[in-house]
Chains A and B, each alone.
Chain A
Amino acid sequence: MLQADVLIVGSGAAGMYAALAAARAGAQALLVDRSLIGRGGATVMAQMTVAVAVGEEEPDHWQHHLADTLKAGRGLCDPALSQLLCEEGPACIREMDEWGIGWARRDGHLAQVHAPGHDRKRCVYVDFLNTGPAVSKTLRARVQRIAAIRRVGDLVVTDLALRDGVCVGAHAVHVSSGDTVPIAAKATILATGGLTRLYARNSASINMGGDGYALALRAGAELTDMEFVQFFPIGHLAPRLVGMDPIMWDPFRYKLGGRLLNSERKEFLAEDGRYVASRDVATYGILKEVAAGRGSPHGGAWLSFQHCGEAALREAFGPVIKRLAANGIDLTRQPIEVAPIAHYHMGGVRVDADMQTGVPQLFAAGEAVGGANGANRLSGNAITEAFTFGRRAGERAAALAAKTAMPSLKPRTWVSSNGRKSNPAAEIVSLQKLMNEHVGPLRTQSGLEHALEKIRALEPMCAELPAPRAGLDAEWMDLHDLRNMRLVAECVTRAALERTESRGAHQREDFPETNDAWQRHRTFRL
């Protein structure tokens, strides 16, 4: 049995920031992760930029950032959450600076670049392709120094613990031993990230299968805007790259523009060598070119930097040129192929501006939260969201814990084994293909209905979890993941089916127009 004032599930940027804020507010924090602390999740994968109105490159104000965020969200942002992100972003960025993250600097000030959808140069970064790893490393080092934060890895939370509808901690399994571990907590924060692992083509870590959404839903919390999955338009497609994140081309498009071309080597987004098309528009544009038979050989588009010249490429790419060469890629001689890839989820757990869910003593933070980015997220807002929401959740959870008694908790019981007839690792791959094909960037009623039927058919094999076998039970872990992924996939698909319009990241082929009557949120509760 473990116990804590504040339990934080997930150790990406949101979770680590929450732990720091909770400890700073006087709480004993317990930071758990299903793998190693501070190495998984989406944060460590973020190779690009962080949007924040620090105004160092040119004058700026958080209200300008907010205006751009609301505009990108296509009328569906929760303004209180968006404001928190934009208003408190600068303080978090400066705090990270004090902690030694090493934001790129130019002439003595923070360097900021202009990302699509922003009205000015607003995005800070760590060179080269190092923003996410630097964020993870900085927070990890900070968390390690604070005695009030206990860290436990290889601990997967299977369900939240409830008493009379109140969250009193969580039930976990120690992955390497198979032991059941109850965790009593006065307040619990879900910082488990998003759901992009639901898709065959994704830029996610293995743990981004929507765990937090499933945990929240089963505990009685509400999910919102689940249909809005952001596809990053220019995820790397070919030739095969190893040792690099598939979203790596983004920062180089900030710096150099680059040309997105169809099979006729023509630009089709009217960008004219600049990087200006928003993510939803670019994703749609690429897939329409492919559908019209003008795609690249592997089913995407060409991205070319050939016109930039070797000197500019060397300056922009730095040491990455060598890593590309090791993969057999010379950008002065060849374009590469890119295609949309599941990257971020705008929807998630519904919270108020204190990050409190509808379930007492249960909070959420970071990508796990739905609403700040509406129907389409602006470039650079994800890490800012992780920082600001993590900090707010940690503070509020600590304040609540200070006036709450430590709950007692009984170990959970398991259903008897279902005999494990099929291979859950294979079922996950099938589910990912299904979601990519029918619940991806282009959707139709018939495709969504087909997907929903298949998703529901999976339920009997993973509705409840049997006990894990002693020792590391890899197959049980897949069954655990399938159980969560299936439930979350059903929410995404049902919401996509019901929203009979196109808006932001949700594009219905059979309802291509945006409909004002749909400027509202689809929410789920079990």
Chain B
Amino acid sequence: MKATLKIRRGASWQSWEVPFEQGQTVLDGLRWIRVHRDPSLAIRFSCINANACKECMIQVDGETVYACTTRLAEGEMSLEPLPNKKLIKDLVTEIAPPDERLQ
């Protein structure tokens, strides 16, 4: 099966076709892109699959979700950074509490 991940990168969008098996997640797809297509793609995650760290929150098709628990689906999925947080790069936003930042 194949999904197309259309990813917001600053002012523009970039799309990649991602192969997947039933049950795999959006985070699996993003990691696949970094390994096979473009290592410069910035995403934030820590625990990979356990939904324990809560770091991989993004918007998929306009809905705020965790990339690690959202399943890939055939067809196109639109991925964007959180709209109400300061953008750092690609899908990464500033989500640390203000008193835990460098500045």
Contact = CB atoms under 8 A, between A and B. Distances in A.
B96 A207 contact: no
Which interface residue of A35, A242, A244, A424 has the most chain B CB atoms within 10 A? A242
A426 B50 contact: no
Contacts of B92: 176, 472
A221 B102 CA distance: 29
Interface residues of B, number: 40
A39 B89 contact: no
Interface in A116-161: 132-133, 151-155
Interface string B57-72: 0000000001011010
A205 B48 contact: yes
A469 to B, nearest CB: 9
Contact of A244 (B51, B66, B94): B51
B22 A45 contact: no
B44 interface: yes
Interface of A: 35-37, 39-41, 44-45, 47, 132-133, 151-155, 174, 176-177, 179, 181, 204-207, 239-246, 327, 423-426, 429, 471-475, 478
Contacts of A174: 102
Contacts of A240: 21-24
Interface of B: 21-25, 34-36, 39-55, 66, 68-69, 71, 88-90, 92, 94-96, 99-102
Interface of A is mostly: loop
Given A35-B55, A425-B35, 16 more contacts: A39-B53, A44-B47, A45-B47, A45-B50, A152-B102, A153-B96, A205-B47, A240-B23, A242-B69, A244-B49, A244-B51, A245-B50, A425-B34, A474-B34, A474-B40, A475-B39
B23 A206 contact: no
A160 B94 CA distance: 27
Interface of B is mostly: loop
B55 A39 contact: yes
A36 B96 contact: yes
A241 B52 CA distance: 14
Closest 3 CB pairs of A and B: A240-B23, A40-B46, A243-B51
Contact of A472 (B23, B42, B49): B42
A434 B66 CA distance: 30
A133 B25 CA distance: 22
A429 B88 CA distance: 26
Nearest to A203: B50
Nearest to B47: A205
